Amino acid sequence: MAADLFEKFNLGNIELSNRMVMAPMTRNRANENGEVTEMMVTYYQQRASAGLIIAESSPVSAQGIGYPMTPNIFSEPQAKSWKKLTDAVHAEGGRIFIQLQHCGRISHPSMQAGGALPVAPSAIKPSGQAVTYQGMQDFVEPRALETSEISQIVAQFKQGAILAKQAGFDGVEVHGANGYIIDQFLRDGSNQRDDAYGGNVQNRLRLLSEILDAVCTVWPAKSVGLRLTPENSYNDMRDSDPQTHFEYFIEQVSSFGLCYLHVLEGDMMTKTSSVDYGALRGKFSGPYIANNGYDLEKAQKSLQDQNADLIAFGLPFLANPDLVRRYKDKLPLNEVDHSTFYGGNERGFTDYPFYHSEEV
């Protein structure tokens, strides 16, 4: 029988009430200490009917911060603030993972302790601008990490995983996507190292493999997911052969027995794609979450054609706290307010209405 978006699904060690995943979306509404705010608790609790929520990307160290007002996961107070949020989601019957992030070169000295340079695999300045507390500023040329420093990045992810467990999450997603530090090591457009972490695909995969090893000492592999973006050009990313390279990466990480592989299919900047995602999925032995521009019709077809096990939705969940009900009952959706995506208050965050029949 063909899979259906609204049926239950066993994911690792947990049961999901449906196959709809709320994608991680940065909203910049934490406090100045990187702690969860009450309106964030409300926002996620409102959307707890999703089969799985993947919380917005959360830096695992002060060095890993790349944006203002993001919730972090490298201190005890931050973990304690997240616990209020996970408790609220669980009280509604929801399931929630946290996305562990290090921004690498996608930061700015004004965001770093002592005005230090952001770190990266190689000293390659990305084009574009950083979002800072002083407004938009040009990216700078990052400092290439010394080989001896890379173990510190791995340790930061492990500590984030430890704190995520204290915070009451159901699992963690390692953020290997969208031009942040793991992705910077994976793709040859940003990694021009000549040590054990650069050059061939085996070396470029080494950081991710070490991070997964470390995180899986804290959480069972069946509670650890991974996000990848093979051809996304966001944050000035490129790779000479994403099909071949990511088939190798995915085949190798499949041996970890992870909870899932979460893939953004295509380039969200150019709205194009040249990668065969079916071939990538075939290299991974576990559940596959498809992401990028899915609506109800496209999601159901992907499941029925066995191209994915779960579907992640971004903007539809942002604007519709009751998206599961709206899709299931084929109800109209709220209009998305793009002006309120990042930063601000409750407007465009927790005030999107639930559907009420008297509105029709």
C-alpha 124/C-alpha 191 separation (Å) is 8
User: Does residue 223 contact residue 13 with C-beta atoms inside 8 Å?
Assistant: yes
Check if 67 is active-site.
no
> What is the pairing mode between strands 129-132 and 143-144?
unpaired
Catalytic choice (180, 260, 288, 352): 180
E strand intervals along the chain: 9-11, 14-16, 20-22, 52-59, 96-101, 119-120, 129-132, 135-138, 143-144, 171-176, 224-228, 260-264, 288-291, 310-313
E strand intervals along 60-202: 96-101, 119-120, 129-132, 135-138, 143-144, 171-176
User: Does residue 168 contact residue 227 with C-beta atoms inside 8 Å?
Assistant: no
C-alpha 243/C-alpha 230 separation (Å) is 8
- The conformation of residue 334, written as its DSSP 8-state character, comes to P
3 state DSSP class of 179: coil
Residue 101 sits at φ, ψ, to 5 deg, of -135, 150
C-alpha 29/C-alpha 45 separation (Å) is 15
Burial class, 331, CB count within 10 angstroms (exposed 0-12 / middle 13-18 / buried 19+): middle
Q: Which amino acid is at 228?
A: L
Report, as residue numbers or ranges, the catalytic residues: 180
